[in-house]
Structures are given as C-alpha cells and as structure tokens.
Amino acid sequence: MEHNFGQESVHAPGSIDKSRVLSVKPLRTLVPVFPSPNNPSSSSNPQGGAPFVCVSPSGPYPSGVAPLYPFFVSPESQRLSEQNAPTPAGQRVPTGPISTAVPINSFRTPTSAANGDVGSSRRKNRSSGQFTEEEGFVEINEDDAEDGTGDGTGKRKGKRGRPKRPRVILANIDPDALANDILKSINPVVFEALSQPDGSRDSVAYTLLIYEALKRKLGQVEENTKDVAGAKRPDLKAGTLMLTKGIRANSTKRIGIVPGVEIGDIFFFRIEMCLVGLHAPSMAGIDYIGTKISQEEEPLAVSIVSSGGYEDNVEDGEVLIYTGQGGVNKEKGASDQKLERGNLALEKSMHRGNDVRVIRGMVDVAHPTGKVYVYDGLYKVQSTWVEKAKTGFNVFKFKLLRLPGQPAGYMIWKSIQQWTEKNASRNGVILPDLTSSAEKIPVCLVNDVDNEKGPAYFTYSPTLKNLKPTAPVDSSAGCPCVGGCQPGKYTCPCMEKNAGFLPYSATGILADLKSVVYECGPSCQCPPNCRNRVSQGGLKMRLEVFRTKDKGWGLRSWDPIRAGTFICEYAGEVIDNARVDELVGENEDDYIFDSTRIYPQLEVFPSDTEAPKIPSPLYITARNEGNVARFMNHSCSPNVLWRPVVRENKEESDLHVAFYAIRHIPPMMELTYDYGIVLSLKAGQKKKKCACGSAKCRGYFC
C-alpha cells in the first residue's frame, strides 16, 4: 500500500524472531448498432453480421468459410490475398523505414495457402497435415491435441484407432444473441473509442475486456449444454462474433508500431492479437501486406510469431533466427520451402529495410501445454539464407535484429527463467521467503531502489480471522457433490446460488463479474480440489514484494497472469465499525479494507461501478497480521479488482474478499487495485494523495 516511511528500528543480527516477518507502514453519445446478417457469400461489408459458424482453428473449412475475418468469402476471393490486397491510393514505399496502413478487413484469407499456409512455430494440424498454432490451452478440442493421431483426412482416430467424437454445432445456444446482451451493457463511451480507425491504449484495453467477457460467458453457458460432444472453443467463437460486428481496435493493417499496443503486452489467444491489430492471421506465423512498387506489387512482412514449433533460435534477446514457413505437409510429405508468400515478404523486407513486429511465444508456467505470446517490439531483417533442417529438406532462415532503445520485453522472461532454473544471482534480495513457509509458494522480498532494509514487523497469516463470527444469512447444508461440483448439475445448491452455473472455468478463471461469488465451503461434501473452491487453496503463482520508487512497497508476479485469475484474498482480522473509527482516529487505517466504500470497477461496464452487493459490511485490518494483499498499492486505473466470496458454512457467516486480474498482466508488472472512495469521511480521516501516475488519476484516494 502507499506509505510514508520514518526511521525504523533494526534488530541486531541473530535477534530476529523468525516466526514473525517484516511489515510496512502504509505510506454517452453513441449507441451500439448490431446489423442484421448479410449474405454469407459477401465479404465487402465489414459491419455485416455474417451467420455464425464454429469451425476448428485448424480447419477443415466448409465451402466459402475462411479462418480469418470476414470468414465468409466468395470462391473467386479464395486465393493469395495480402499480395493482391488494395493499397491506399498514391502510396509509395521508400527504401528506408516504411509507415503504412491498409484496412485489415480488405484482406481475405483463402482456405488453402493464403498469407502463409504454415507460419513459424506450429503445432500439427490433424486435418491438413500442416503445422498450426493452438489458440489457448483450455479450450483446445481433444481432436486438436498434440497426440499425433490425425490421419490428414478430417476423420479423427484415437490412440488405438478408435474414431473420435465429431464436433457438434450448438443447436440450443444463440451466441449472437448472447453477444448482443453483453454488448448492450457496454458504456457508450467505449464505442466512441472503438469507432476510430487508429487505436489507442483505451481502445485496445476495451476490446480485450469485451472479448474476455464474451468468451468467458460463452464458455460458461456451453458447459451446461449436455448435447455438445467434446471440448469447445469459446475463444474462437467470441473472436468471430466481435470481428463480424466490427468490434476491434486498429482496423487497419500497418507496418511498425500499432497504436495502443505496448512492448511487453501479453496474449493467451492468437485471436486477441488479431482483434487489436498486432498480428492478423489466426494460424500463420508471418503476416504481410501487398505494396505497390512502381508498376508492380510485392509483399512486405509486418509481423511474425515465433513460438517454438520450428527450429528458431530464440536464446538471444536482441537477435532472432527465424525459420521460414512451408515445406511440411503430412498428406504430400515434407519438401523444400519455397520463396513465396511469407518467406518472400520477409526477403523483400530485408531489402526495403522496413520494421517487423516480433511476437514470441512462451510456455505458460501455470499450464505447460499452453502458450503465452509476448510482444517484443520492432526488428529488422538483416540477412537470409537456406540450410538443411532436421528433416533433410531445405528451409529458409532469417536473421532479425531488435531495434535499440526499446523497453524490455522478452528479456524479462529470460531473467525470471534464469532466477528459477539456474539460481542466478539477483541484486536487492532481502528475504527469499517473506511468508516463513506459511504459503506453499515462497514470496520474495526485494529492494533494488534504495537502502531500506524492510518494513516493520508483522505476523504473516494467509487466512482471514473472525473472532466474533455471526450466524449465516442463509441457512445451508452445502452441496452433496462428493466427487466435486460439475457443470450442468442443476441439483447442486452452490450452482443454484451462482444462477445455475459454476463461477469458475475448469482452469480457475472467474467466469463473470457478478456481485457475489458463492463457493463451496465447510458444509459441502465436495473435496478440497473441487473447482468451486478456487480462493481457498492459497497462492498459486510466484509473487514478490518489492520496493517501488515512490509508493513504498508493492506487489508483483514472476508469472504472467491471465485475465480472471484468482491472485489472493485479503487476509487479516475482521473488525467492527467501532474498531475502524478507533484506528482512523489513531491514523492507523492504512491497512483497513472497507467493503462499504465506492469501488469503481470497470469503465466498460457501467453497472459494475458501485461496491459489490454483499450480505453484510466487512471490515478487515491487516496492520498486525496479514498476507501479500496488504502490499498491493492503489491505482485509479487498476489491473486487479476484488469480489466478495461467500463460502457455504451452516455454522457461521463465511465471507471473504478475493482479488482477480482484470486483464492479462505481464510478469514483473505491479499489481494494483482501487482502494475506493468514502462518501463521508470519518472524524480524523483525510484524503490521501494518489501517486499512481495513471492518465485517469483522481488525484487522491481515501
């Protein structure tokens, strides 16, 4: 939390009670219009609401369906697209750095080889025999799993030759209607930002927040549909719906910087990069545009994705040796790569000297079968050559150099990897584990800013203590789900309280932003690993308390955090209002969590701007004992929000405060939440000056 610091006593060596650990002294003008469906064979109107079809990200695609927006194309348009795409009138390409923008919606992706049939870093495509990129770890269809069981015919076989279950198009769910319900709740100001052809930081954030809300709700609803066989892909469905309705940031394809996208930004799904204009293809690793040169048109690369499928050399943070696309086809067999499409675009970019955006795919530590994509900034293609790959066939190699003076992106990940795997030395480490083993995962205490040796002492406690519990508001015997709560089990009382759904996905992601989350508790018969007990398992990511430059101590994560992920609860002691007044009068209120404050949550959804409706007011003090949550600083533009969590307990009220990620949070980015506003200050209570540095800073917090 934000603090002012005075001189603190330092114990002599050997005199520290190791059962206690260090603490810190707290320093509307537009209305969305949803057009009716157009002729699916027409791709000329990007605002047209094309009929919704769910297809695998790797195909096979029905006649007239393509893997990228506009998804419904005429047969004559299913050919090489980027090289034949329209270019702004009068555009000339200099021999030096290039800055250009072409409408993304004017680029059509054919069903076969347009814009790169295969990009760098692919997983195997079971239906085409090519390498493709998975869109995310949780929604991957079992047919798309990396098990090598595909036969290239589109028919699926199990590991013992058993046919796999066919994909089923949802018959009783209208994704378009569900999307419209969500979109109607959006602040009209958001659509003003999204209506601009060039993006901004706000428009990028709005786009991803809307995508997350739609994707998670689709996934939650589909889980309860019993007539759907196999895994589902709400990530692709949500992306398709948004592109069809024209809800995106940066509607033009461009060379160089993408407005609103910053180096270090992370993405868990390829479609997210398409929605914000960073990398348009949902599968291909090389994105390019057609550019007019004199009387001829040639392709120029705008971005590449490198994530380990090919023989890329990614060890050096300033140099990338990138393997070209093509040359692998399971049906036709491996072959030499050809200087065409993406490979040709990279070769032309080497001669033209234009900037190329590089996105690196990293292993998701929390889910090793998945990927996290980090935007690493601008590179230039320095050289290219041909060499034999492990397959024995020729492949193109491209050497790209990172432009100097850019913020760290990929190297942050490399540093964390070295700390973890190689025990590399690190400056400023005060304590390797602030929790003294109270948590399953150590929390490091670091100061590489000044000479402060640590905050004052407090007892680390990972749980909430209520010395004066009250009777529960609703009497409940809990759920009878001995094997754990499952989607679609409408007899489960815990699901009934959550409007008939499980509040979390199978990977623990909060499904929506309802006011109260009802979890299973002591009265339930489900096991500790039940997916409706997400906030009860303690820390699940590697966090560290660190010294900030101007806000005292703060909290950040070594691991990337996906939007909707549970981070921690606010631990401490539950107190009453009288005790709050007493602490305020003593100027000791910096560690008080007050649920009665006004907590602006998300600008996108105005209905979530007030304090969540909880059964009774909750006041928690973490002054004498608490957990990592006490170190989270305030921000007027936070990346974390809180939600009240009620655990089923027939003996006493079991109310907790849990923190979840609002959006994807890159490693080593400070975790912040909005402390809220007190409508009427208590006697002796003063507003505190805010140092969050946000463009939307209110100037103070209470």
pLDDT, tens digit (0-9, with 9 covering 90-100), for 605-628:
765 445 566 778 899 999 999 999
Distance (Å, whole) CA 340 – CA 534: 49
Kindly report whether the peptide bond that precedes residue 51 is cis, defined as omega within 30 degrees of 0.
no
Q: Could you write out the DSSP letters of every residue in 427-470?
A: TTEEES-TTTTSSSS--EEE--SSS-----EEEE-SSEE-SS--
pLDDT at position 74 is 38
Over the stretch 444-498, which tens digit does the pLDDT of each residue have? 999 999 999 888 889 999 999 998 888 887 777 899 999 999 998 878 999 999 9
Over the stretch 201-217, which tens digit does the pLDDT of each residue have? 999 999 999 999 999 98
Give the residue-averaged pLDDT of 311-334.
78
Beta bridge partners of 634: 673
Distance (Å, whole) CA 142 – CA 158: 10
Asked if the model's pLDDT at residue 145 lies above 80, the reply is: no
| CA-to-CA dists, residue 20 to 38, 92, 436, 437, angstroms | 66, 67, 8, 11
pLDDT at position 424 is 75
pLDDT at position 222 is 85
**Angle, CA 270 vertex, CA 269 and CA 273 arms, to 5°:** 105
- Tokens (6 digits) for 613: 């409706």
SS3 (DSSP) at 271: helix
What letter represents residue 332's amino acid? K
List all residues 6 or more positions away from 86 whose beta carbon is below 8 Å from its beta carbon: 102, 103, 106
Over the stretch 353-370, which tens digit does the pLDDT of each residue have? 999 999 999 888 888 888
Helix (H) or strand (E) run with residue 699 in it: none
pLDDT at position 276 is 96
Q: Which of 407, 297, 403 is nearest to 355 (CA)?
A: 403
SS3 (DSSP) at 667: coil
Over the stretch 223-251, which tens digit does the pLDDT of each residue have? 887 544 444 788 998 999 999 988 999 98
Cα atoms found within 13 Å of the Cα of residue 348, Cβ hemisphere only:
24
pLDDT at position 77 is 36
Q: Give me the percent of the chain exceeding a pLDDT of 70.
A: 71
pLDDT at position 668 is 97
| CA-to-CA dists, residue 438 to 18, 275, 460, angstroms | 12, 42, 7
Q: How confident is the model at residue 297 (pLDDT cuts 50, 70, 90)?
A: confident
Q: Residue 563 phi/psi, 5° resolution?
A: -55, 135
Give the residue-averaged pLDDT of 642-669.
94
Asked if the model's pLDDT at residue 293 lies above 80, the reply is: no
Give the residue-averaged pLDDT of 159-179.
50
pLDDT at position 332 is 66
Mean pLDDT score of the chain: 76
Q: Residue written as tokens 């380990």? A: 308
What letter represents residue 484's amino acid? G
Distance (Å, whole) CA 656 – CA 574: 10
Q: Are 342 and 85 in contact (CB under 8 A)?
A: no
Task: Tell me which range, 309-318, 481-490, 593-602, is most confidently predicted by mean pLDDT.
Answer: 481-490
Kindly report whether the peptide bond that precedes residue 469 is cis, defined as omega within 30 degrees of 0.
no
| CA-to-CA dists, residue 221 to 170, 226, 236, 405, 499, angstroms | 11, 11, 15, 46, 11
Q: Are 413 and 362 in contact (CB under 8 A)?
A: yes
Q: Give me the percent of the chain exceeding a pLDDT of 90.
A: 45
Q: Max CA-CA distance within the chain?
A: 82
Q: How confident is the model at residue 351 (pLDDT cuts 50, 70, 90)?
A: very high
Cα atoms found within 13 Å of the Cα of residue 138, Cβ hemisphere only:
17
| CA-to-CA dists, residue 451 to 18, 24, 549, angstroms | 22, 15, 12
| CA-to-CA dists, residue 580 to 316, 332, 458, 589, 599, angstroms | 53, 73, 19, 7, 18
Beta bridge partners of 626: 460
Asked if the model's pLDDT at residue 130 lies above 50, the reply is: no
Q: How confident is the model at residue 182 (pLDDT cuts 50, 70, 90)?
A: confident
pLDDT at position 174 is 75
Q: Are 664 and 266 in contact (CB under 8 A)?
A: yes
Q: How confident is the model at residue 383 (pLDDT cuts 50, 70, 90)?
A: very high
Distance (Å, whole) CA 258 – CA 632: 31
Give the residue-averaged pLDDT of 27-32.
38
- Tokens (6 digits) for 36: 């009716």
Distance (Å, whole) CA 618 – CA 595: 5
pLDDT at position 173 is 64
Helix, strand, coil fractions of the chain, as percent rounded to 5: 15, 20, 60
pLDDT at position 249 is 94
More confident residue, 180 or 90: 180
pLDDT at position 350 is 97
More confident residue, 546 or 583: 546
**Angle, CA 242 vertex, CA 240 and CA 248 arms, to 5°:** 125
List all residues 6 or more positions away from 450 whose beta carbon is below 8 Å from its beta carbon: 547
Q: Which of 33, 72, 54, 67 is nearest to 174 (CA)?
A: 54
Distance (Å, whole) CA 653 – CA 647: 8
